[in-house]
Amino acid sequence: MSRKYFGTDGVRGLYGGPVINEEFAARLAHAAAIWARGVSGGGVATVLIGRDTRGSGVALEAAVVRGLRAGGAEPISLGVLPTPAVARAVLESAARLGVVITASHNPAADNGIKFFGASGLKLTDEEEAIIESHLGAPIPERAVEAVAENRAVAGYIGAAQALLPVSVLAGWRVVLDTANGATCGTSPVVLRGLGAEVIGIGDAPDGTNINAGVGSEHPELLAEKVRVTGARLGIAHDGDGDRCVLCDERGDVLDGDEILTILATHALSLGRLAKNTLVVTVQSNLGVDAALMAAGGRVVRTSVGDRYVIARMVAEGATLGGEPSGHIICANVSPTGDGLVAALMVIEVMLATGQPLSALRRVMTKFPQRTAALAVREKPPLESLSAVMAAIAALEAELGAQGRVLVRYSGTEAKLRLLVEGPTDAVVRGGLARIEAAVRRELTVL
């Protein structure tokens, strides 16, 4: 069963557009309520709702509440809360479903809706397809409200603080970029509670500035702040808090691949990496594979999207996985990607080894890699683009075992993503230029 509206991370788009608007949000929530009641054997299904700091989130939440009520569900509003905190709340309660109103790292003009099942995991492709099958007539306008509940915030903060010893970060200066998003009220509280001096940036959300020049997609300000203040560590989240990128004490940024490699190789050294396996996506750098192999571990790759990573982790019996974007899943702590948990786990490695982050990152040597994201008007099947496929085949033949090419459409945006890895930067740069030129001959690039 195919999906029309769901992408790799829920339904997402421009607020006020053909999909992300109050009418469709109510219909989607109504369909989700029907599905939730079905899997719970009928009766009233409790649904927890969280959102990020986008101004459009309030109206969309009201529409979601209306749809859920019409579908026989009992909505409970958790207010502004990071995505992983919503997932945790669903897992630890009797809720049948979790809804997060967020467009993650996208600009403030966008918004979206994603769902978590009773296990705290994102829904599968098949479950999302069933929800789409229940999309029916528009939901009648009715004035309804959700029950407000704020205990999830305290529970999430308490669980995060418990991951490290009390006051263990006394004397640490940490720069924290919360992207003007959902982690503004959680991550700084946790770090200060552990004794750290926290210098905040991106911590003044106004409904329009989420991810605007700050956060995991824009770590330049974080890096500069670390250098200027002499901080030991820099941490950046995205708008809904399920991503993390780090900055070492020198002001150099670490992406998700480097974070995963540090965590995995340290766990291997202690005999604690489940199945000796790390799960990553096809987007991850080949340097991850080389580092894990040298440490006695193995890497398993899956499609792009953290929920595909989680599904493969479950299948493999693995407990660590993620993406270069900074989605890090520590399944023995959180059922989904959690930027705060990832940062705390790296801090734990720093404490255990006594090494700064600049030393820990040396465990991985990245293969030269370049990427591009081309905004496109349409998304025809890649196999129908003869020039693009020919350029990919020619480059792959030249690279052989010394590199790779990845071309795919974004699951959340109207973009074609290109990635080339190879033995030298010159080879990679030239190869990417050839692929991009072929794309521009066959697609309208905006």
Q: Which of 395, 389, 388, 369 is nearest to 442 (CA)?
A: 388
Cβ-proximal residues to 134 (8 Å cutoff; 6+ apart), any chain: 30, 31, 32, 34, 35
Cβ(428)–Cβ(369) below 8 Å:
yes
Residues belonging to the active site: 104
**In the structure encoding, which two tokens stand for residue 52, read together?**
């990020």
Which region, left, alpha or beta, applies to residue 36 given φ > 0 means left and ψ of -120 to 50 means alpha? alpha
H-run or E-run covering 373:
strand 369-375
DSSP secondary structure string for all residues of 298-355? EEEEE-SSHHHHHHHHHHHT--EEE-TTSBEEETTT-SS--HHHHHHHHHHHHHHH--
Cβ(140)–Cβ(70) below 8 Å:
yes
> CA separation (Å) from 42 to 71, 134, 135?
11, 15, 18
